[in-house]
């Protein structure tokens, strides 16, 4: 008799666990990055705080002109929410912001 109960409870317990874990993994990581500086942004990087590598330039060959924005899904597949952002500008300057919670922030501005 206990085997029958176990077979009915186990699938329900696993299903409930998946419902609790799924929101953490499926959180929105869309961030609108705005160039609110006085110089064109030529590179943008986002790497989770658990790495020492800036990964790839998200802008690629695109340039984010003064006042322009781009919607970026910041998700490297690790489940991390905490990311460091780095931008390089056409005048050679760069800016870094650490510990950006992309699961909570939907907009991020680089400013002078």
**What pLDDT, on a 0 to 100 scale, did the predictor assign at position 1?**
47
Rounded Cα gap, residues 41 and 87, in angstroms: 7
**What pLDDT, on a 0 to 100 scale, did the predictor assign at position 18?**
45
Rounded Cα gap, residues 26 and 29, in angstroms: 9
Rounded Cα gap, residues 54 and 68, in angstroms: 22
**What pLDDT, on a 0 to 100 scale, did the predictor assign at position 87?**
98
Reported pTM: 0.76
Rounded Cα gap, residues 92 and 82, in angstroms: 26
**What pLDDT, on a 0 to 100 scale, did the predictor assign at position 34?**
98
How many CA atoms lie less than 13 Å away from 40 in the CB half-sphere? 8
**Domain range annotation of the chain:** 28-111
**What pLDDT, on a 0 to 100 scale, did the predictor assign at position 55?**
86
**Which residues, given as ranges, of the chain have pLDDT below 70?**
1-26
CATH of domain 28-111: 2.60.40.2890
């Amino acid at each position: 008799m206990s085997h029958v109960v176990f077979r009915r409870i186990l699938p329900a317990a696993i299903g409930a666990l998946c419902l609790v874990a799924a929101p953490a993994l499926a959180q929105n990581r869309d961030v609108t990055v705005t160039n609110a500086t006085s110089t064109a942004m030529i590179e943008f990087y986002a790497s989770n705080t658990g790495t020492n590598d800036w990964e790839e330039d998200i802008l690629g060959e695109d340039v984010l002109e003064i006042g322009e924005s781009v919607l970026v899904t910041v998700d490297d597949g690790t489940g991390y929410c905490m990311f460091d952002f780095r931008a390089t500008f056409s005048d050679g300057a760069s800016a870094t912001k650490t510990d950006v919670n992309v699961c909570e922030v939907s907009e991020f501005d680089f400013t002078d």
